Amino acid sequence: MYVQNASTPERKLVTVPGLHAMKAQGRRIVVLTAYDASFAWQLETAGIDIALVGDSLGMVVQGHRSTLPVTLDQMVYHTTAVARGLSATMLVADLPFMADRDTTHVLEAGARLVGEAGAAMVKIEGAAPHILEGIAALVARAIPVCAHLGLTPQSVHKFGGFRIQGREQAAADHILAEALAIQAVGADLLVLEGVPTTLGERVTAALNIPVIGIGAGPHCDGQVLVIHDVLGITPGKRPKFSKDFLAGRDSVGAAIAAYAEDVRSGAFPAPEHCFN
């Protein structure tokens, strides 16, 4: 029997100022995806800082080959379900493909994901001029924003596949410039995906806002993974930057708790999860 928003013992609400304080204090931020209330409750119980309703649901839940078919209605549906499983864990939701096509659509998506579905922050990929304008517009309306740079999955066709970004000096410098730009327009968090460890370290050192890595090395202020990868149930090949934490453990809760512990201690990611 599922109990809506049952409280967990002694957990303080994770807030935007709280995340900034964690960076300042060198406490690593633990992020994991969730797509429904039951898994949200597992994250809550394990003390995960942020539950991300990622458009990765298009791949791991819906079985698509990319995140591109996911719609705003579907993001609202899954975000609403995840919200019912959380109490202290912060809820962040993705803007799906083309919901960022202009500022009007960005604001509509932000209003639905925050106002209707219950997210505390929205995530938006890239740093093109219209994205920077969209981030600024959300921030001006008190909607906190998590930016997403590097291997941004919605650009899979432009990249020619899910390929590591920022390996050449000019590309690395460009990603750093994008990171400074999203911070300048008011983003409160950055997900940095699929870049060399050296670039992950550079970006994390250059920004005042927390940087959450996924395949971006151990120097980021926190880490995020897709829950299916953490549980070893990825449809197809599990990405190199992930780890099956259920292997050798006897429950979903134990696997999630081990992930949280390894992120907080710095044991994850290990060198075999990183890129040069």
Alpha-carbon gap, residue 224 to 213, rounded angstroms: 6
Is residue 191 involved in binding ligand KIV (CB under 6 A)? yes
**Omega before residue 235 within 30° of 0, cis:** no
Residue 226 lies near ligand KIV (rule: CB under 6 A): yes
For residues 178 and 98, give the distance between their C-alpha atoms in angstroms, rounded to a whole number.
20
Measured CA to CA, the distance from residue 151 to residue 164 in angstroms comes to 6
Task: Name which of 55 and 221 has its Cβ closer to ligand KIV.
Answer: 55
What is the rounded distance in angstroms from the CA atom of residue 260 to the CA atom of residue 145? 23
Count, residues near ligand KIV per rule CB under 6 A? 12
**Does 193 qualify as catalytic in the annotation?**
yes
Least distance from ligand KIV to the Cβ atom of residue 214, Å: 5
The yes or no reply on residue 195 touching ligand KIV (CB under 6 A) is no
Exactly one of 47, 54, 126, 215 binds ligand KIV (CB under 6 A); that residue is 54
HEC per residue, 128-170: CHHHHHHHHHHHHCCCCEEEEEECCHHHHHHHCCCCCCCCCHH
DSSP assigned state of 212: E
CA distance 18 to 35: 24
Least distance from C-beta 6 to ligand KIV, angstroms? 25
Would you give the DSSP letter of residue 271? G
Question: From the list 151, 214, 258, 260, which residue makes contact with ligand KIV (rule: CB under 6 A)?
Answer: 214
Among the listed residues 193, 201, 261, 272, the single catalytic one is 193
**Which residue, judged by CB position, is nearest to ligand KIV in the bound state?**
54
In whole angstroms, the minimum distance from the beta carbon of 225 to ligand KIV comes to 7
Q: Report how far residue 42's alpha carbon sits from residue 109's, in angstroms, rounded to the nearest whole number.
A: 27
Q: Which of 28, 35, 49, 56 binds ligand KIV (CB under 6 A)?
A: 56
Question: Which C-beta is closer to ligand KIV: that of 44 or that of 193?
Answer: 193
Q: Please tell me whether residue 224 binds ligand KIV under the rule CB under 6 A.
A: yes
Catalytic sites, residue numbers: 193
Residues that bind ligand KIV in the complex, under the rule CB under 6 A: 33, 52, 54-56, 94, 148, 191, 193, 214, 224, 226
